[in-house]
């Protein structure tokens, strides 16, 4: 079933993952990413200060930009993220309790999974899409292509070691979108050049859009 969130995921095809020792630069980096065309952002809850950053980013950026919470592992995490204003959640694992509570809070989930069994379980448990993680460690594009063959109805989002040159390959293999952290952000969250970040982000956006 197509939902507004899935439509946005299929339209923009790129999720930028913000993860650092603290969230002090999240809002600034999010603004730069937005200026470069990124419209799906994930702030990981393992970063101290992430919920406040989600709220701040959500208020600053336009309604087209969706701000999600990552590393959601517990029912409490769901509430923290939803209360902060997260538009979507991303989990590292398959947790039926998390998926059930997220549904009750009406927040879509990109559920982390790896094996075909986990991917299928996540999908049937109500995930809006499934994060294939860590994708690169299990064969990258070839793995996603192989998994998608028997499960073509499951929207897959490869994550983990996704570099610029991988983006069009994953999408050609049938992924609905990709998510990138270090290959995209590099040192931007720890004082690195925001101009360099903007340039990388434009390249990633172009690769995701096929231009």
Contact 15, 171 (CB under 8 A): no
Per-residue confidence at 165, pLDDT binned at 50, 70, 90?
very high
pLDDT of 202 above 80 = yes
Q: Which residue is catalytic, options 59, 106, 131, 169?
A: 131
Best CA proximity match to 45, nearest among 61, 68, 16: 68
**What residue has token string 């902060």?**
84
- What mean pLDDT comes out for the span 29-50? 98
Q: Which residue is catalytic, options 7, 42, 100, 186?
A: 42
Query: CATH no. for residue 103?
Result: 3.20.20.70
Per-residue confidence at 2, pLDDT binned at 50, 70, 90?
confident
pLDDT of 105 above 80 = yes
Please say if 169 is a catalytic residue: no
pLDDT of 15 above 70 = yes
**pLDDT for the residue numbered 1:** 60
Task: Give the lowest-confidence range in 11-15, 133-137, 152-156.
Answer: 133-137
pLDDT of 114 above 80 = yes
Q: Which domain holds residue 182?
A: 4-209
User: Count of domains in the chain?
Assistant: 1
Please say if 42 is a catalytic residue: yes
Q: At what angle do helices 75-84 and 96-104 cross, to 10 degrees?
A: 30
């Amino acid at each position: 079933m197509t939902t507004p969130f899935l439509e946005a995921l299929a339209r923009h095809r790129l999720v930028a993952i913000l993860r650092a020792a603290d969230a002090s630069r999240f809002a600034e980096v999010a603004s730069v990413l937005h200026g470069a065309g990124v419209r799906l952002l994930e702030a990981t809850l393992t970063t101290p200060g992430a919920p406040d950053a989600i709220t701040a980013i959500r208020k600053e950026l336009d309604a087209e930009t969706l701000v999600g919470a990552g590393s959601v592992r517990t029912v409490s995490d769901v509430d923290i993220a939803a209360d902060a204003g997260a538009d979507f959640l991303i989990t590292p694992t398959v947790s039926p309790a998390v998926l059930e509570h997220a549904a009750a809070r009406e927040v879509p989930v990109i559920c982390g999974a790896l094996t075909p069994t986990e991917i299928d379980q996540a999908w049937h448990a109500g995930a809006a899409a499934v994060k294939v993680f860590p994708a690169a460690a299990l064969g990258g594009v070839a793995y996603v292509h192989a998994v998608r063959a028997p499960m073509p109805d499951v929207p897959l989002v490869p994550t983990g070691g996704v570099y610029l040159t991988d983006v069009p390959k994953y999408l050609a293999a049938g992924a609905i979108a990709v998510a990138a952290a270090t290959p995209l952000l590099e040192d931007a969250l720890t004082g690195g050049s925001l101009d360099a970040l903007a340039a990388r982000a434009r390249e990633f956006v172009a690769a995701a859009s096929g231009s």
